[in-house]
Amino acid sequence: MRLGVARPHDLIERRWAKGGPERFEAERPVLGDVTALDQPVERISIAAGSGRSGEQVAKLLAGIRKEEADEKLWTGVSSIEADAGSAEVVFHHGSDPALRPEGGVEVACHLYDPEAIDAARRLGVVGRATQGLNNGLGENLHN
């Protein structure tokens, strides 16, 4: 799990808490076991609830993604695909930051790594995930 990214389970629970009992009762049966969402993996299969389909799970997730587009979690999602009994969420490949010299010390931070910044720009996540941050190289990342 990447730092600063909400756990998917927390996102769904928060959505249900804000949406009240009506939202919970409409959406909860679509999903199977949501505790599996908290595992730090690059892809996860979210089972459909009893009598539900993977297409319904994917549709629910796509709706949540659209409604909560500013949620940092979505910057890490590459795709959501349905099969018969589940939806698979695939995350962009993550990497651990390398130690780099900065101001007389070594730091391990993607904000100081020009290659990581370029990769984030290619994915279109600079600006959403890094809003208001300066990369330590003298450039604001929210461009």
Mean local confidence (pLDDT), 90-94: 81
pLDDT, position 127: 56
Q: Which residue in this structure is represented by tokens 């010390």?
A: 105
How does pLDDT run across 93-114, given as a tens digit for each residue? Answer: 777 788 888 888 888 887 777 7
Average pLDDT score over the chain: 79
pLDDT, position 62: 94
pLDDT, position 100: 84
Two tokens at 57?
A: 């799970």
Please give the residue that has the higher pLDDT: either 49 or 124. 49
The reported pTM is 0.64
Contact 103, 37 (CB under 8 A): no
- Could you state, in order of their start, the residue ranges of all structural domains in the chain? 8-91, 95-143
How does pLDDT run across 12-58, given as a tens digit for each residue? Answer: 888 899 999 999 999 999 988 877 777 777 888 899 999 999 999 99
